Structure formats: structure tokens, C-alpha cells
Amino acid sequence: MSRENEELIETLWNHIWIDQSLDRLGEVLADPFVRHTRDGTEHTTPQRYARHVSSSVATIRSTRLHFDQISSLDDFVFARLTLEGINVAIGSTLKITWLAQYRIAEGLIAESWSMHQTGLDW
């Protein structure tokens, strides 16, 4: 089950965030989905999360994603990843690193805790 949970997180990032296959969100996110970020806690739906993803990457092109580490324990997946691309709004390269923990319930991502930082090299 652990590898299946990790694949769920890889699908979220590779297919939803990078490929923009937002129609696949129902395959990976629970409804509701709970996000914990520096901005607080949000109870959201896959549809609202799709809008968040879309607006977050609207100005980023030539995007590359690398999982620096991914591991799982029981119903939790832990990931350290790096996203690189070009911010076309300002014409410069962009690097964002993430630390994230995900809770999986009934085969879907039910909850996430994440922090990100621009310009950080692991």
C-alpha cells in the first residue's frame, strides 16, 4: 500500500500540477480535502483546488519537477521536491522547493501539510 500512496502523490504533482490534467483531481483528492499551509487551514473541494492550481502556475512555463525524496509510513506520505521553470510574467527563472506531508484515506489524498520556499537548493 505504501508505494500506491506514493504514486498518488506523484500523480498529484506530475499530472495535476505539471501537465495541468485538472480533470483527474477526482482520482487523487478527497472531497473535502484539507490543506494546512503558512496561510492557515483550508477545507476545500477538488474543484476549488483546481482553480488554485491553475492560478498558481498561470505564469510558469517550461516546468520541470523533481522528487528529491518521497517516502511513506502507514497512511502518510512525506515528500521533498523541487519545481523549476520560467516565470513569463517577469521573464526570469524560478525555483521552488517543497516539504510536504500527506494523509491518505480510502485511496485518496485527504489532508496535506506543506511549506515552500523560492530559490532554495537542497
The pLDDT score that the predictor gives to residue 48 is 95
* Separation CA 67–CA 48 (nearest Å): 25
| Domain annotation for the chain: domains and CATH numbers | 2-118 (3.10.450.50)
Share of the chain above pLDDT 70, in %: 99
DSSP state of 4: H
What 3-state class would DSSP assign to 90? coil
Q: Which pLDDT band, with edges at 50, 70 and 90, does 121 fall under?
A: confident
| pLDDT tens readout for residues 50-98 | 999 999 888 888 889 999 999 999 999 999 999 999 999 999 999 999 9
